[in-house]
Structure 1
Amino acid sequence: MRAAARSFGARWPDRVAASDPGLLRLAAGLRTVGAIALTLAVLSLLGADVSHLVAGAIASMVATFAVREKERGRQAVTLALGLPVALASVSLAALLTSRTVAGDFFFIALIFCAVYGRRFGDRGTALGLIGFQVYFMALFVGIGTSSLPGYLGVVAVAFACSATVRFLLVRQTPSGILERLRQAFRARLAQLLDAQLDLLDAGPDDAEKALDQVREGTARLHETAMMIQGRLAEGTPDETVARLVQRRIADAEIAAERLGLLLLTARSAERADTLTLHLPGAPLPEATRLPVRDEALDTLRHDLRALRLLVRHPAEAGSGTVLSQVRNRLLGYRDEENLPQAPPPVQDVFRGVGEAARAVLGLRTALDGPQDESADSPETARSREELDAEDAAIGGAEEDEAPSDEVTGLRRPTTRAAVQVAVGSSLAILGGELLSAHRWYWAVLTCWIVFINTSSTGEILVKGYRRLLGTVLGVVAGIVLAGLVGRHTWTAFAVVLLCVFAMFYTAPLSYTLMSFFVTAALGVLYTLLHTYSLSVLVLRVEETALGAACGIVAAALVLPVRTDRRTNELLATVLERLSGVTEAAVEQLSGAPPVDLLEQARDLDQALADLRAATQPLTHPVTPLRSRRDTARYVVALLETCAYHARSLAATAELLPTHPSIAADPRLRRAGARIVHNIGAIDARVTDERSTAQVLAGPSVAALLKPGVPGTPRYGRVTDRVLRHLQRLDEAVVGLARPLGTPVTAPK
């Protein structure tokens, strides 16, 4: 039991780090709750009444969550600019409270400006959010001109408390966030290795479940890699260090995904398709009769556990320690003579373990600094030399930015969204006042919220549905909580703080849960303001449904962006970047001058993430169009497969100047040209249905690399791995043609 307790004590930090990468959700919840609690404490010492306490809590929450910039200096400037915006907003709300028509027109104008401000980046978004939410707070509390001076002081106190918590009590620095994201990457990598080990040992009844866990672990590892990519510029001292960390993270991610594919192949009668790791519900390849108690398989299980141990212990091992011996043994699998006797697919897994151990070694060196080399074996020393040569080849030159081709006028997304939300809010005001002359603003709030971070009618529909569901469930919880806390002021505020923490902690995971906790907290706040009743909470549901409906109507009728159009635009972007990465990688593998391939690969990953988010309305479980849902999932899975192989080609191409076993081969241009042509043909079909471009299907990539002179090597010095990635990429691109309606022909 003591051993189990020690094991749990050693692993729980990894579990926390993996569940909340960078502790970003925990910090957001603590920062917001801390700001509210400090505001309530200061106002209570000043003798504020309950209405002022509620206003202060809302204002401090807004001042905290609205500021999203990564650099602390920019956060301070935005917060300082937000205070006069908040003061002006609450003042105008108080002055216009008795002028209904003028107040409604100003509210609509404020909503338009708040949404339009998103085109100016994080600061414009934050100031617009502060202006709108503080105006809403004034309506919620009922601020008039006679009580305005006191509420201005409350807002000032709230912003001061928010700044105190942000910069003193719950501090987050870019370098600290990046360090915690690195820990999360290690933790999720170790979890993926656990899932891969379970897949190796899974019986026929558990194989599908084990494969699902490997898929989930692979996706979570990729998500963390993308989060690290987004923090490198602010969290590292210079461009060279950022590129070094980027390369090592990419190497580890690719090695882990490749190891999963090799394990699948070792279980199956034929080479596993990369699509299996990306398509939910894809069947496990047919299993072979591998012996359960085979010496090679027992060694493989032991080595996978050893690799997991290396990942979980980032500190330097030291001379002669067990970790040094484990590292040396695993890196030895990079040499053919050290491979155990086993079937070829199982030997491939041992090679994958060796490459993964090399990636972990590079990751440890990049993240933890120089390691003790006194216990290195010859294989480990060679791996270090390769890594040092790669590190030395990394330059700090920045890529020239592409010229901007941003659209203007009503075609600009922020302008279009501002017009849509203004129209939707106008409808919400009219309908909301018919339901209630005093609480019509709930409909406007819902209409506003469903437009945040959405780009198509389908996304708005899904978000409105989730908010309505969360609100209905939250009303039930609000009734229960209001009955429990009664008129106990500080107990009620404690419940509100718990709901606020849960709201921010669950927001990135589930919009429905976030809406649930918001509505539950509001039920308690109504109790504090002595306005609680069952009819009020029912009215909240009615106003929410009305606001969601108004938002959907505005999105569908005013400058609409259909989900098909949005996904086609993003699909074209993904295909364009896939073509760019593939062409650049093949050119470099063919002997062209080096370029920054990993940056291009990450741009491809980001475009694919945007497409995946935009297809949520199509893949939602309640969608009635089942065949369309399956097609969308299949296309996204194929694109993820293409992105994996393109990313692997890019990482391999960047090794050309330093890796002795990889050399340029001009014959690759012919294979790459066909792949790039096919991607372009699909892109043309997606962009214009009248396009006559066709996908060319032909001989395998290996067949295209015929020797030019009799007696010369078939593949030259290009590794088999490069050929496999090209072949799989070629197959995946041709596979995209059918669901996207592009004709496929064989070359004449």
Structure 2
Amino acid sequence: MPGRWRELWDRLVASDPGLGRLRMAVSGAVAMATALGVEYGFATLLGADAQGVLISMLLGAIVAMMGSLALTGSDVGEKVRTAVWFPVAIGGGMVAGIAVAGSTGLMLSVFVVVMFLAVFVRRWGPAFFNYGFMAWMGYFFASFLHPSWSMMPMIVGATVVGTAWVLLLSITLLNTHAPRTLRRVVRAFDARARAVARAGSDLLTHADRPDVDGGRARRRARRALGRRQTRLAEVALMVEAWSAERGALPEGWSGPALRRRLIDAQQAVDGIVAGADSLAAGGSPLAGRAAVLLDRMARRDDAGAERAARELADATGDDTGTPPPGRLAARHLAAAASEFVALARIAEAPPGTAEVDDFEPAVGLAMGHLPGSPAVALDVPVHVRWWNPLAKLDMTTRQAIQVAVAGTLAILVGRELSDTRYYWAVIAVFVMFTGTGTRSETFLKGVNRLVGTLLGLFASIWLAGVTAGSTTAVLVTIVACMFVGFYMFRISYGFMIFCITIMVGQLYSALHEFSNALLVLRLEETAVGALIGFAVAVLVLPLGTRHTVRTVRGALFTALSELLVAVAQRLETGRIEPAEDGTPRDLDGLARGLDDRFRRLALVARPLTRPLVWGHSPSQTRHRLALLAAAVTHARALTVGVRGDREENDADVATACRALAVASDRLAGTTPGYARPDAAEPLTRADVALFGGRGDPPGTWVTDPVRSPLIHLHDLLAELAQVDGRARGEAGGPDDPRTPDVAAALAVAAGAPRPDGDPQRAFAVASLTRALRRQLDEVTASGGPAPDGWWFADGTAAQRAAVPPGRHAARVAPRGD
């Protein structure tokens, strides 16, 4: 396959990991289309009249649509156990609807009760989510299609036939083949890694060109690089989840082995991102060569990428003479690209020794996909300013109450617009509290439903004229809309509603009830339902977005603290103690758990990244998410760095890990955007442990695979806490007790023991030494000689006699001078 076409195929594979959306769309369209034919044949065999045929076909379509979503996975027994209750759920709703059909007031009251119960039962898992929805749909059909008791045998029969048909399809033609799906998800991981390389190549290309737009193109390219790096972590979690499916792993592989292989590949990609970003920011003349390397990697020209990596490494020069700018970043990028290509070459080869430990995935699957925001917000309590006993209710009970209140209001207001079509307002309300966790998500879903309905209205009017008089054209349009709507569902809910609005228009056209006024009425009722739903989400037991973000962010910091403590244990004793409940732990699993914590945070924080919620700054939210994403990346790198046996004594590094763990714990209870002063003390201890008087040779601090991620974590946590976790040699006058002693700085720089008797002084001395050491590392790691003389902490030259008050300098000199 030519490189360009191969890259286009990679983009398609990367956009739909495991082809999950395509599988859902095909399953929904095939199940619904065939169920219509099966139910038509069933009703005809029974000699049903026109109303009976219509009810049978509609019930079959509903069972097929819901069943195709519910009967996912590869476990046939689980599918049978789930499907056997479909007729009970729909039949129960139908019986309740027929029983109260004689009284409008009673029918509407029971409608609200059914809505409450349909949401309340979600607490018992995904299967009951579908049962509740089916019971609600059964009551809806019974209330508005007015079947009689004499039709119940046919209705039950139609439901059983529809259930049997969709179950048969789900275990035969539409069955999920777990090994094949896992291979596709792993293929999507590789494709997204290549997409990261493409974004890096674009960034370097912009850096190699004249700046004609004020740097906007470079900033866009840098943001695109960050987004693709985040999407790579997401598909890595999908591999994690599918690895736990029964029979999914190929022979010779185990869950821990596949997790380890992907973490190694992800670490290589992270190195590519860091190198590309550094080269682009520094305007290095090596950026052009690096862009060529990443372009070849993106086009799957792995042999060409290896040649380009060698050429880039050669272009950095030898260890003599003046190195070109960006030499160190270019070498790191070349090494990372070579490592990824080497891993890609053996991607299908199982490890030499298979793991035998039990595999516990960091995240599970929900209907074939990663869990959404409702699962994230499930255990988040309502934040109230005054005492409210209802605030202690769990999420499903709260949403059931919200749905009941909103449904009641939708019935009252909707009936003012239409006595017969008010159910569109009720449907809008019910769906707004389905698949949402916070009030911001509820609002966005209502807006998407309204916009999708509005745009679909115009399309429906046009298509009604095109398909008028042709039953075949109407059915084809309905099935096509079903397919496209399901395919786009996880990308754009508004687009799905656009397709559903067209389906509704086609249905009314087939029933000879279509009119422009009818669709306008649907838009009005939908608007009423959306407004009521949002008002209830805000006023009745609201789950605030900021409060949810704060809670999930705290869980992320707690997970980071747990990982840092585990690293410290690994450095101190060579093993990791089990969790409090006795569950074994490993660093790879903790790293993947941290990845999932960040995914959860990004899900619930998404509304805050847009200018839709008052009283916040989207740019600041995006910046804090970027800081947390970087912290997760460096934490993962830390787990990779401590795998092997280390020759040196890592007591100080373990101390730094534990200090950073304390800082993470203290950040867990902080509101985003607010300072956390008590995090400064453990950050100070970590700073002293990492840099206080070690006397390491220049260059080791940048290249050390353990201390380098810890340095980055320290700085990121300090910025998130909005405290100065180290003295930078700029603040404090000559009489300030925090001012470091120059003689002590010289002693520490020369390798003398640090002044442990004075923690503040030790901290300041260590930080000054650290800043100078970083300057030396950048020079010596690039092959340059260590400069002699006096230097400020920012790396600029100084004279001892000319150091102004409030600034501090130290002399770079060989040990013992």
Shared topology, TM-score over 0.5? yes
Amino acid at match of 1:486: A
**1:266 is matched with which residue?**
279
Residue 31 (structure 1) shift:
0.4
* Root mean square deviation of aligned Cα: 3.7
* Alignment equivalent of 2:632, drawn from 629, 643, 647: 643
Give yes or no for the alignment of 1:563 onto 2:545.
yes
2:558 maps to what in 1? 576
Residue in 1 that maps onto 2:262 = 249
Q: Using the alignment, how far apart are the partners of 1:688 and 1:699 within structure 2?
A: 21
The Cα offsets for residues 569-623 of structure 1, whole Å up to 9 and x where unpaired, read as 1121122112222332244245441441222222222222222222233222444
In structure 2, do the counterparts of structure 1 residues 368 and 399 end up closer, same or farther at CA, with 3 Å as the change threshold? closer
- Letter of the structure 2 residue corresponding to residue 368 of structure 1: E
1: CA distance between counterparts of 2:565 and 2:455?
51
Equivalent pair of 2:482/2:499 in contact (CA under 8 Å): yes
User: For residue 784 of structure 2, what is the aligned residue in structure 1?
Assistant: none
| Partner residue of 1:656 out of 638, 644, 648 | 644
Candidates 26, 35, 39, aligned match of 2:35: 39
Q: Match of 1:194, as an amino acid?
A: R
| CA deviation vs aligned residue, 1:433-485 (integer Å, no higher than 9, x gap) | 33222222222211111112222222212221121111111122222222222
Question: Residues 700 and 719 of structure 1: is their aligned pair in 2 closer, same or farther, counting only changes over 3 Å?
Answer: farther
How far the C-alpha of 1:33 sits from its partner, in A, is: 0.5
Counterpart position of 2:661: 676
2: CA distance between counterparts of 1:472 and 1:368? 49
Moved more, 139-148 or 523-532: 139-148
1:693 aligns with 2:688: no
Letter in 1 for 2:663: N
Tell me the equivalent position of 1:107.
111
Give the superposition deviation at 1:707. 7.7
Contact 1:425–1:447 (8 Å) recurs in 2: yes
Higher Cα Rg, which structure: 2
Structure 2 residue 61 is the aligned partner of structure 1 residue 57? yes
Amino acid at match of 2:10: D
- Match in the other structure for 1:619: 609
Matches of 2:318 and 2:686 in 1, distance apart? 28
CA distance in structure 2 between the aligned counterparts of 1:140 and 1:476, rounded to whole angstroms = 26
Q: Which moved more, 1:410-419 or 1:351-360?
A: 351-360
Q: Which of 191, 198, 206 matches 2:195?
A: 191
How far does residue 82 in structure 1 lie from its aligned partner after superposition? 1.6
Aligned residue among 692, 711, 721 for 1:727:
711
1:289-312, Cα deviation, whole Å (9 max, x unpaired) = x278xxxx54x4554455446x57
Question: CA 1:24–1:162 in 2, change beyond 3 Å: closer, same or farther?
Answer: same
Partner of 1:486: 468
Q: Is the 8 A contact 1:71 1:174 kept in 2?
A: no
Q: CA deviation at 1:113?
A: 2.2
Long gaps (5+) in structure 1: 270-286, 314-322, 371-386
Structure-1 separation of matches of 2:640 and 2:120? 40
Deviation at 1:29, TM superposition (A): 0.6
**C-alpha distance after superposition, 1:380-409 (max 9, x if no partner):** xxxxxxx75xx66x55145799xxx97998
Q: Give the 3 Å change call, closer, same or farther, for CA 535–700 of structure 1 in structure 2.
A: same
What is the distance in 1 between the residues matched to 2:255 and 2:238? 13
Give the C-alpha shift of residue 70 in structure 1: 6.1
The answer as to whether partners of 1:585 and 1:650 remain within 8 angstroms in 2 is yes
How many angstroms does 1:508 deviate by? Answer: 0.6
Matched, 1:368 2:348: yes
The equivalent residue for 1:210 is 221
| Aligned with residue 458 of structure 2, among 476, 489, 494 | 476
CA deviation after TM superposition for structure 1 residue 25, in Å: 0.6
Paired residue for 2:448? 466
Question: Deviation digits for residues 481-508 of structure 1, max 9, x if unmatched?
Answer: 2222224222111111111111110011
Residue among 23, 30, 39 paired with 2:26: 30
For residues 238-637 of structure 1, the aligned pairs below 5 Å read: 241-269=254-282, 287-288=283-284, 290=285, 298=289, 300-301=290-291, 303-305=293-295, 307-308=297-298, 323=303, 343=324, 345-362=326-343, 364-365=345-346, 367-369=347-349, 388=352, 396-397=357-358, 410-594=392-576, 595-625=585-615, 627-637=616-626
Compute the displacement of 1:108 (Å).
Answer: 2.3
Q: What's the counterpart of residue 176 of structure 2?
A: 172
Task: Give 2:385's aligned residue.
Answer: none
How far did residue 104 of structure 1 move? 2.5
- 8 Å contact from structure 2 (residues 254, 356) kept in 1: no
CA shift digits 1:24-52 (9 cap, x unpaired): 11110100110111112223445475624
Name the SS for the 1:368 alignment partner: coil
Contact 1:492-1:524 at 8 Å conserved across structures = yes
Asked whether the equivalents of residues 35 and 60 of structure 1 are also in contact (C-alpha less than 8 Å), the reply is: yes
Specify whether residues 106 and 338 from structure 1 end up closer, same or farther in structure 2 by C-alpha distance, changes over 3 A only. farther
Structure 2 distance, partners of 1:224, 1:461, is 28
For the Cα contact (< 8 Å) 1:583–1:672, is it kept in 2? yes
Distance 1:493 1:340 in 2: 72
Higher relative contact order (CA 8 A, sep 6+): 1
Matching residue of 2:792: none
Alignment match of 2:101 (pick from 72, 97, 104): 97
Q: Please tell me whether the aligned partners of residues 660 and 686 of structure 2 are also in contact (alpha carbons under 8 angstroms).
A: no
Label 1:236 to 1:523 Cα distance change in 2 as closer, same or farther (>3 A). same
Structure 2: 5+ residue stretches without partners: 363-377, 382-389, 577-584, 728-758, 761-817
Matches of 2:396 and 2:647 in 1, distance apart?
A: 47
1:233 aligns with 2:244: yes
AA at the equivalent of 2:432: V
1:183 Cα deviation from its structure 2 partner:
1.0
Deviates more, 1:543-552 or 1:236-245: 236-245
Q: Secondary structure at the match of 2:257?
A: helix
Question: Which residue in the other structure is 1:378 paired with?
Answer: none
Distance 1:689 1:724 in 2: 27
Question: AA paired with 1:650?
Answer: T
Secondary structure in 1 matching 2:31: helix
Q: 1:676 to 1:97 in 2, by over 3 A?
A: same
Identity %: 27
Give the equivalent residue in structure 1 for 2:386.
none
* Cα distance in 2 for residues equivalent to 1:527 and 1:125: 32
Q: Is the 8 A contact 2:71 2:167 kept in 1?
A: no
Which has the larger helix fraction? 1
- Range with bigger deviation, 613-622 or 515-524: 613-622
Q: State the Cα deviation string for residues 623-676 of structure 1 (Å, max 9, x = none).
A: 454x532222222221111111111112222x225xxx7766111023223322
Secondary structure class of the residue paired with 2:575? coil
The 3 A distance-change label for structure 1 pair 291 and 713 is: closer
Deviation at 1:10, TM superposition (A): 4.2
Q: Distance in 1 between matches of 2:483 and 2:590?
A: 38
Measured in 1, the distance between the counterparts of 2:255 and 2:605 equals 32
246 and 140 in structure 1: CA distance in 2 versus 1, 3 angstrom threshold = farther
Alpha-carbon distance in structure 2 between the residues aligned to 1:265 and 1:525: 57
Aligned partners of 1:81 and 1:335: how far apart in 2?
67
